[in-house]
Structure 1
Amino acid sequence: MSLRLSTVILPYRRWHEGGRGAWQRAEQLGFHTAYTYDHLSWRSFRDGPWFGAMPTLTAAAGVTERMRLGTLVTSPNFRHPVTLAKELISLDDISGGRITLGIGAGGNGFDATVLGQEPWTPRERADRFAECVSLLDRLLTDDGANGVSYAGDFYSAHEARNIPGCVQRPRMPFAVAATGPRGLRLAARHGQAWVTTGDPKLYETGTPEQSRRALRDQVENLGKACADIGRDISAMDKILLTGFTPDRGRPLESLGAFVDFAGKHRELGFTEIVIHWPIPDSDFAADEAVFERIATEAVTQLG
C-alpha cells in the first residue's frame, strides 16, 4: 500500500518574513499536501502572531503550482456553512482545483468562546458538526441558478448561490476528522478521506503500542460505518496527523525513527501521514535538516 507524506504549516509567521518561503519549500520538498490549522488562535501561540487560514491558503495557492492545499481542520466553532462555501469555492478556483477541506467538530478551546457564546455541550457540538457537513456538501455540489435553501436546527440558507461551483467535481474532497461512532458515520457518508490524531486519552500516559491499538480500532470502526452504507473503506484515504500520540516528536528525531513509525501506521491502513513544519521553542520543534531528509527520503525507503 502506497503512503503519502504531507505537512501542516501553522500560520504564525508574517507572509514576507518566512511565511511564503515555507509553502514554497514544502512544494520543492515534494509533500503531497500542505495544510494549515483553521483557528483564530491556538494553545501556546495565543499570545503571539497568528493569521487566518483562508487568506493564508489563498496566498499559498499563488506561490505554488502542484502541491495540494487544505485546512486541518475547519470547524463550526466560528464558521457558517454559507459563507464558508463561498470562500472555499473561490479558493478552489484560485488554486486550480487543489483544495481539500479538512473539517472536524472542533473543541472547547479559544475558538469555542471567542464570539461570546458559551461552549457547546458535546451533544450540541456533534449535532452542529453533522448539520454543517451535510449543508456544506449541498452548497458545494449544487451550482444551480436557484441556489440552496435550507432551514435546520442550527443553520439556515436562503437561495444561496454558488455559481460556478468547484473546479473539482462534483466538489472538493472532504477529509472528515472523527474518532467516535457518530463522527465516523459522518466520515463514511460524506468524506473522501478520514482524519485522526489518535486517542487523546493516551497522549499523556499511554504508550506507542496502546496508541496503535486504539488507531487500529478506529480504522476497524470506520470500516464498519462504511459497510453499513454499502461503501468500501478502501476507497477512502486515511490520514494521521502526527504530534498528538504518545510518541510526540520522537518520529522526527531521525529518518530511521520516522520510517519505523510510518511503516507501523501504514500497516494499520493509513494512506497519508502529516508532519508539522518545525517551529523552534514549541511542541513542534525539530531539526530542520532531519525534517527535510524525512520529506525527501522516507517514502522511498518505505517502498
Structure 2
Amino acid sequence: MWPMRSWPETGELWRRAEDLGFRHAWLYDHLAWRGTTPWYDTYTTLAAAAAVTARIRIGTLVTSPNFRHPVPTAHAIRTIDHVSGGRLTIGVGAGGTHRDSDAGVLGGDDWTPGERASRLAEWVELLDLLLRRPETTLEGTYYTARDVVQEPGCVQRPRVPLVIAGDGPRGMRLAARHADGWVTSPNAGEGEPWDVVRSRLDALDAACEAAGRKIDDRILLTGFSGEPWLESPGSFDDLAGRYAELGVTEIALHWPRPGSAFDADMKVFETIAANHAERGERR
C-alpha cells in the first residue's frame, strides 16, 4: 500500500484490500519516497487503517533505525496492536541510504555498512525486549532505554511478530535469533532473481540451524527484479508457484500506482486477488 492519499480516501483503499481477500497489507516506513510527496506517516496510517478494517493483517515492510528510536517505536507498536485487535506485524531492516527518503535527515555522518548492521542488531534486540517485558532498562552503544514501563503489553504474545529483512551473514544471524518471519527482494543485478532467492533461503536455513530455531514465514517483496508479476493472472501463478517450491510462503505485491514503475492493470490485480482468495492461499 502507498501512504500517499489523504483520509478518507486512504481508508477506503484499505477496506478495499480487505474486501479483495488479501491476507496482509504492508506499508513502507519512510519520511518520503525518494522525493515523492505527499507521503504520510506510516504508523499513524496503520493505526487509522486498523480502526477501519477487521480481518486483514497490517504491518511495515520495513521500519529501520534511520529515523526511529526503539523506545517510541515500541510504544507505537503496542498501541496499534491494541487498536487492530492483534493484527499487526512489524518488518524491520537496516534502512536505505537515499538521503531524500530518510537516511541522514536527522543530520550527522553517513553510517558505514558495518555501523548500519550494528545499529540494526542493537535496535532489534532492544525492540524485542521492549515488546516482551513489562519494564526495560538497557544501555547500548547506539540506543538506550531507562526504566521504560510497558504495561499492559502487546495483545499478541509474547509480542507482536517481527519480520527481519537481512540478506547478508549478519542479517541472517540476526533473523535466526529474533525473527518470526524473513523478507527479501531479489535484485536482478546480482543474477537471476530465482537463483538469488534460492541462495538466500539456503543461507537462512543454515543460520536457523546454527541458532536452533525455525522461521516459517518467508516473504518475497516483488516489484524490483523485472519479473512480470502483474502482467497476467497466469504470469503471477507461474512465478508464485516457482517461488513456493523454493520455500517462499508469502508474496507481497505493490498496489498499482499509475504514472510510476508500479503501474499495472487493476483488473489483473483484482483477478489475482480473487483467484487466490478462493483457494484460501496466503499472498
- The interval holding the TM-score normalised by the smaller chain is over 0.9
1:166 equivalenced with 2:157 (yes/no): no
1:231 equivalenced with 2:222 (yes/no): no
Deviation at 1:70, TM superposition (A): 0.2
2:82 to 85, 93, 111: 93
- 1:239 is matched by which residue type in structure 2? I
- The CA distance in 1 between the partners of 2:178 and 2:138, in whole Å, is 18
- Check conservation: 2:188, 2:226, Cα contact below 8 A: no
- The CA distance in 1 between the partners of 2:278 and 2:250, in whole Å, is 14
**Superposed, which structure 2 residues align to 1:1-303 within 5 Å?**
9-16=1-8, 18-43=9-34, 46-109=35-98, 110-143=101-134, 147-199=135-187, 201-202=189-190, 206=191, 210-232=192-214, 235-247=215-227, 250-298=228-276
Q: For residues 106-131 of structure 1, what are the alpha-carbon distances to aligned partners after superposition, in whole Å with 9 as ceiling and x for unaligned? A: 01013111112222110000000000
Aligned residues: 279
- 2:235 is matched by which residue type in structure 1? A
- The CA distance in 1 between the partners of 2:139 and 2:275, in whole Å, is 50
- The CA distance in 2 between the partners of 1:276 and 1:81, in whole Å, is 27
SS in structure 2 at match of 1:112: coil
Bigger RCO (CA 8 Å, 6+ sep): 1
Q: For residues 193-229 of structure 1, what are the alpha-carbon distances to aligned partners after superposition, in whole Å with 9 as ceiling and x for unaligned? A: 0000113634xxx5xxx21111001000000000001
- The CA distance in 2 between the partners of 1:61 and 1:107, in whole Å, is 27
User: In 2 relative to 1, CA 138–301 (structure 1 residues): closer, same or farther, beyond 3 Å?
Assistant: closer
TM-score (norm 1): 0.89
- Check conservation: 1:112, 1:118, Cα contact below 8 A: no
- Check conservation: 2:22, 2:277, Cα contact below 8 A: no
SS in structure 2 at match of 1:11: coil
- Check conservation: 1:89, 1:140, Cα contact below 8 A: yes
Deviation at 1:298, TM superposition (A): 3.7
- Check conservation: 2:21, 2:277, Cα contact below 8 A: no
- Check conservation: 1:258, 1:298, Cα contact below 8 A: no
- The CA distance in 1 between the partners of 2:279 and 2:151, in whole Å, is 45
Give ranges in structure 1 of 5+ residues lacking alignment.
1-8
- The CA distance in 1 between the partners of 2:62 and 2:104, in whole Å, is 18
SS in structure 2 at match of 1:240: strand
Deviation at 1:34, TM superposition (A): 0.5
User: In 2 relative to 1, CA 154–299 (structure 1 residues): closer, same or farther, beyond 3 Å?
Assistant: same
- 1:213 is matched by which residue type in structure 2? D
Q: For residues 73-107 of structure 1, what are the alpha-carbon distances to aligned partners after superposition, in whole Å with 9 as ceiling and x for unaligned? A: 00000000011000100110111010000000001
Deviation at 1:245, TM superposition (A): 1.5
Identity %: 50
- The CA distance in 2 between the partners of 1:34 and 1:224, in whole Å, is 29
